[in-house]
Structure 1
């Protein structure tokens, strides 16, 4: 007889998945099945994404979970006008790279959300290129009616600041072997 195994959240907020279980959602699944219900305080399909208020202020190796796997967290993102706040950690900072990617619905061909890629860099401020690490974060957020206005999926703070739920997926890129330039 089949018995359902429950997903357990440990005291430190780490999700304990059953043996053999892998959580590998698509971008669309993250936005539609997890982020959108979280915004509207609706039940989630499974409790596999823990809340972590300090993802952007925590060094990536200090986040809970197995660092060899991509780890997902719900976090509150604080925005002040068009400037993002709270990306500095004790050892470095998260730096946005590349263009934001629109997450499209396959059935309706509509834009559902946005994925931003950030890399972790040692140090603060402008640092030499070799300070870039192998740590990457994908930040998923719902597409608001207008990126400069606040709607029901975010809460207004004093002084024009707003706060909204995002899903952050962190992982380490694999090191590529260097080619010998000498012969």
Structure 2
């Protein structure tokens, strides 16, 4: 299923916390419960083989949220993984529930860094933004639900130019 870009009201920003992702969106998805949120992340099962420039709204959007099945660490020729894990898994705790474990976060980074200005129409004086791309994969602990659903938050951090001091 190809994800679509949903138009949101002016001034609306969808940026749930990791706790909200695990406790509300992912838990309800895994248990098959209805979500009454105005914005619900869509499914995108090839998220690990897609570059952020291939997501709807690029280059204006810098954050995407998608449900998908837990990533298989084995790379196949049919669906290459462009994302690789970095760092350790961290616990997602619920501060409103005595710090109860509600999720597990794994950070990934884009390994295929290519020239991003190829498919963007910019005026002569504009330059394509440069990003370090990251993905936070939030999964539920087995104590909450035995599921392979995860919610992925893809986002870019702008790379600041390095200035050298001349003598």
Structure 1 residues 87 and 37: CA distance shift in structure 2, 3 A:
farther
Q: TM-score scaled to structure 2, two decimals?
A: 0.75
The structure that is strand-richer by fraction is 1
Unpaired runs of 5+ residues, structure 2, are: 114-130
State the secondary structure of the residue aligned to 2:95: coil
The count of corresponding residues between Structure 1 and Structure 2 is 146
Q: Equivalences for 1:17-166 in 2 at 5 Å?
A: 17-46=8-37, 47-67=39-59, 68-79=61-72, 84-85=73-74, 93-107=82-96, 108-122=98-112, 134-145=132-143, 153-154=146-147, 164-166=148-150
- Structure 1: gaps of 5 or more residues: 1-10, 124-132, 146-150, 155-163
**Structure 1 residues 144, 181: CA separation in 2 closer, same or farther (over 3 Å shift)?**
farther
Cα distance per residue 1:110-154 (max 9 Å; x no partner): 11111111110128xxxxxxxxx6111111111124xxxxx9532
Q: 1:86 to 1:112 in 2, by over 3 A?
A: farther
Change (3 A) 1:101 1:12: closer
Q: Secondary structure at the match of 2:28?
A: helix
Shift of 1:57: 1.8
Structure of higher RCO (CA pairs closer than 8 Å, 6+ residues apart) = 2
TM-score by length of structure 1 reads: 0.69
Aligned-residue Cα RMSD (Å) equals: 2.7
Offset, 1:89: 8.7
Give the distance between the partners of 1:32 and 1:152, measured in 2 at CA.
11
- Answering whether residue 160 of structure 2 is matched by residue 176 of structure 1, we say yes
Give the drift of 1:88: 8.1
Instruction: Please state whether the residue corresponding to 2:110 is helix, strand or coil.
Output: strand
